[in-house]
Structure 1
Amino acid sequence: MTVAVAMNSTPEGREALVQGQAEATLRGTDLVVLSVIDADSVTSAHRDAAEAQARQVLGENSFTVRVEPDGGDPAGALVDLVSDVGATLVIIGSRRRSAVGKFLTGSTVQRVLLDSPVPVLVVKAKEH
């Protein structure tokens, strides 16, 4: 069993990491941090940057990082990664968007919700 978290540098992405660690601890399972990047290939610099970003939120907690290029389809790349790591749950951060904004630009979160082979937990950033 594995809990997977879709990571990005937004407050919602950081909250997803926090909730992912909590879920992995609760379930007694591994945590895998997923990062899809807008690039043709992944370098060690991409992996190091993703791990450093996750480490800022997760501290010394144990986790694994997977970084993959998005191939122009971040939602599809994320769903593929969820399957590749054998996740039993995926956690993704989301921000509030207007109906017009969703219509015009689509939604990565919506696509992940519809296409994920496992349950998806969507979290919002905590308001201060």
Structure 2
Amino acid sequence: MRIVAGFLRSPEGRAALDRAIDETRLRDGELLVVHSMKGGERDEAEQVMTYRAEFEQLETRLKDEGITYRLVEYARGNSPAEDLLKAAEDESADLIVIGVRRRSAVGKLVLGSNAQDILLQAKCAVLAVKGEE
């Protein structure tokens, strides 16, 4: 089974990644972790370095867990939803694991929702995981 998860530093992102690791182990699958950046924009250098350091720590964790994995980092100017959906399609994923959080109707309208886009457009199953409150 091929499982795709995004890499986010939020509680929802961490919960989704933990669950993706559990699902990968449970199903003796392969995990693809996608880190999506808006390359070419004003990404703060310190923020990018922090993400990269945590991404490297994740690699150490995945090695220690003994699961099959790949880490990819995209800076193509796409939204995280677009990058996750494209990666899932390219890899013929069986499952996408995403983190979700409660948002107001106005927040969804103004900012859009990566989770909603993934839920509605994915060609495979999607597991939505809530982060700790």
> TM-score, normalised on structure 2?
0.79
Shift of 1:32: 1.3
**Percent identity of equivalent pairs:** 34
Aligned pairs for 1:1-128 (under 5 A) are 1-40=1-40, 49=53, 51-55=55-59, 58=62, 60-61=64-65, 62=67, 63-127=69-133
Shift of 1:56: 7.2
The 1:32–1:72 alpha-carbon spacing in structure 2 relative to 1, beyond 3 Å, is closer
Contact 2:59 2:71 in 1 (8 A): no
Q: Name which of structure 1's ranges 50-59 and 73-82 shifts more when overlaid on structure 2.
A: 50-59
Give the secondary structure class of the aligned counterpart of 1:38.
coil
Contact 2:5 2:17 in 1 (8 A): yes
Number of matched residues?
Answer: 123
Q: Structure 2: 5+ residue runs without aligned partners? A: 41-48
Give the secondary structure class of the aligned counterpart of 1:9.
coil
Contact 2:39 2:75 in 1 (8 A): yes
- 2:125 partner amino acid: P
Shift of 1:31: 1.3
**Superposition misfits of 4+ residues, deviation over 6 angstroms:** none
Cα deviation 1:24-78 (Å, max 9, x = unaligned) = 11111111111111114xxxx8995463252476572232101112424332222
**RMSD over aligned Cα atoms:** 2.4
- 1:28 partner amino acid: D
